[in-house]
Structure 1
Amino acid sequence: MTELAFFSRKKTTGAYSIGQIFEIVAAAVARYRPIIQHELPRPSNSVFNLLRNILATRNNAVFGVNHVTGDAHYVVLGVNRGRVVLTIHDCVLLARTPSSRFKYHLYKWLWYKWPIRKADIVTAISEKSKAEIVHHTGCPPEKIKVVPNCVNPVYHYDPQPFRTEYPRILQIGVAPHKNLHRIVAALQGIRCVLEIVGELNHEQRTMLDASGIQYENRAHLSLEELAGRYRAADVVVFASLYEGFGMPIIEAQATGRPVVTSNIEPMPWVAGEEGACFVNPTDVQSIRSGILRVIHDTDFREQLVREGQVNVQRFSVERIARKYNEVYNSLYPNAQPAIKETHPIT
């Protein structure tokens, strides 16, 4: 009989993508096999906290399958029993850090190469993430299985009349790679309300105030509040420069909102061939043209919503749970599930 333990990073305000996704996956996987869920005790922001998290993982590792669900990859080094599955969402720590800096090499070895070597199976959330892992770490491609993220059922289909004359445009994220400055430039002169989720800095507020665009800013939203912002929107714009996956795409599709997103991977893979309006994220005019087409072309807009509804079924909770269960079964193909057990991490 095999036990299954999930190890997830310490929750932080606004960290929707990893922790909440795997809470849903865990509940679905529990229909196949019992599962023990652990939240790491510390954020990964100091040497002491890293060691504390590694020790906590060592103390709570099981003789079955230990699944480290992302971000805190280094805790794999604390697993001293059983098999290890490591989920890597992206290689952004390496992509954004100059290779000449010490921090780059710290990330490369402690977050990626050593944990990958110790893991029995690595899962990536997209084909693009898999390719990046292979590129940055030299991990054999056959060791990596692609298991996408799932869409949270809180994002449900909610059709609303489209406000052509004054649409509400939703932008998720304010980090530099979310490309807010180009989106603002693309919206110049378009009658709309731009709603931005994420805490704006002073420079971004100054830019928005000078743009003349009517905007609203919300931060530190609960999951239910965030889902409500999708329902309140007419269009979701996600012209990101870098993603491991791109959760806002499938969240918008599930809600029934047209998406304008980047034509670089993994966005087309996630959105589906006809599930979004694809634009060049480095070209302001391309972003603008895409937004205007969605606003004014009713047939195109409705097609995007229909295709999005079909595409998002690829990311249902049940489908993704089955994929993870297949990964676990591959480690112990002849074993039976263990007796269900739950306890807090210490």
Structure 2
Amino acid sequence: MITYFIRNQKAGYSLHKQSIQLINEVSQGSDVEIFELPEYRAYPWHMLKNIFFVYKHRNRKGINHLTGDVHYCILALIGCISVLTVHDLSILDLPTKKIKRLINYFFWVFLPFRICTRIVCISNYTKRQVQKFTSRKDIEVIYDSLSPTWYYSPRRFCEKSPVILCVGTAKHKNLERVIEAVVGLNCRLRIVGNMDSNLTKLLKINHLSYSNVKNLSDDEIYDEYRECDIVCFPSCYEGFGMPIIEGNAIGRCVLTSDMDPMKEVAGNAACLVNPYSKESIRIGISKIMHDADYRQFLVKQGLLNITKYSSFNIANQYVELYKKLNNDCNRGISHK
């Protein structure tokens, strides 16, 4: 039996979706149970409620899997077989007071990395970040998976004025540099996410053609990819970079950052640029816009790239991990 504890959906939809996707695949061949944590906030009282909830529902005889960003709940699983999936360590970079940073480190890094039976990272980049805080040699890398509902959808590239899809508007998504990079290029920006007044002002000052949507359903997000010509994702920080493989799957040209984990996820299936250089971003977009052979190459490589991220393959990697943990624990082998 695999018992999954997933973060409350209100704390972030994408991670919740990724967890459910994994569980659905694993459940086709294994007995599973799933518990969504009651609290989505991470203040001390809410953390205690979540820890008690996990303790109450813990699986004493099987495997307990914390699927992401609730590392502190490992305290409820002391003495149990546990798997902790680490998506990133961005919580350590939050601009908080020193005491808050110490608390975050203690409950998201120091204790979890010592208590859990096995750590899984969603990219080699995340693994390297984790290895800065632990000497453990048993850290696994299992990528995030592509939704099985995403299919190739061919589209004739609009050379006259291509639609450039920008997914996400948070600071690290680098939208300001993208806006500055496309000034003078004949294109249209399609921006997904909540835009602040600074972004709106920058778009209007530069007289760019753009449109903005937010709070989309899965089907609506899929349609946004289908209706674009280029997926532009030169992010400055990610744990993985899902828009890369989503763009690959639909059959769109993808532009992303020449830094990990984005280049790890993309391989040669994306135009890699320096995310801190608007000139590099501009050159990359322009190359895609004006080089038909290059576009064809990116699309072909993208369809090859997504095979290793199929939900079936990723779930099988977790199932093999669960089997190994069960076998080792039955033989009395420790993973600490």
Q: TM exceeds 0.5?
A: yes
- The reply to whether residue 244 of structure 1 matches residue 239 of structure 2 is yes
2-side partners of 1:49 and 1:300: how far apart? 51
**Larger RCO (CA within 8 A; separation ≥ 6):** 1
1:220 corresponds in structure 2 to 215
- Which residue number in structure 1 is paired with residue 121 of structure 2? 124
User: Is residue 108 from structure 1 mapped to residue 112 from structure 2 by the alignment?
Assistant: no
What amino acid maps onto 2:76 in structure 1?
Answer: G
Does the Cα contact within 8 Å between 1:158 and 1:256 map onto a contact in 2? yes
Shift of 1:82: 2.5
Write out per-residue CA displacement over residues 148-182 of structure 1, whole angstroms, 9 at most, x where no aligned residue: 00001222110011101111100111111111110
1:147 to 137, 142, 150: 142
Q: Helix, strand or coil: the match of 1:7?
A: strand
Correspondence 1:260 to 2:258 = no
What corresponds to 1:330 in structure 2?
Answer: 324
Give the partner amino acid of 1:42. Answer: E
The answer as to whether partners of 1:126 and 1:146 remain within 8 angstroms in 2 is yes
| Aligned partner (choices 26, 36, 46) of residue 23 of structure 2 | 26
Contact kept? 1:7, 1:37, Cα under 8 Å: yes
Question: Does structure 1 conserve the Cα–Cα contact (< 8 Å) formed by 2:236 and 2:275?
Answer: yes
Counterpart CA distance in 2 for 1:141 and 1:241 is 28
Structure 2: how far apart are the matches of 1:116 and 1:123?
11
SS in 2 for 1:194: strand
Unaligned 5+ residue runs, structure 2? 331-336
How far apart, in 1, do the equivalents of 2:283 and 2:84 lie?
40
Contact kept in structure 1, 2:78 and 2:115, CA below 8 Å? no
Runs of 4+ in 1 over 3 A off after TM superposition: 95-98
Q: Where do residues 300-339 of structure 1 align in structure 2 (5 Å cutoff)?
A: 300-333=294-327
Provide the C-alpha distance between the structure 2 equivalents of 1:313 and 1:230, rounded to a whole number of angstroms.
19
Work out whether residues 62 and 81 of structure 1, in 8 Å CA contact, stay in contact via their aligned partners in 2. no
CA contact (8 A) 1:238 1:259 kept: yes
TM-score by length of 2: 0.94
Q: 2:159 aligns to what?
A: 164
2:68 to 61, 67, 70: 70
Alpha-carbon shift at residue 81 of structure 1 (Å): 5.0
Partner SS for 2:9: coil
Taking only the aligned residue pairs, the percentage that are identical comes to: 35
1:210 and 2:210 aligned: no
Q: Equivalents in 2 of 1:72, 1:210: separation in Å?
A: 42
Q: Is the 8 A contact 2:15 2:68 kept in 1?
A: yes
Q: Which has the larger displacement, 74-83 or 150-159? A: 74-83
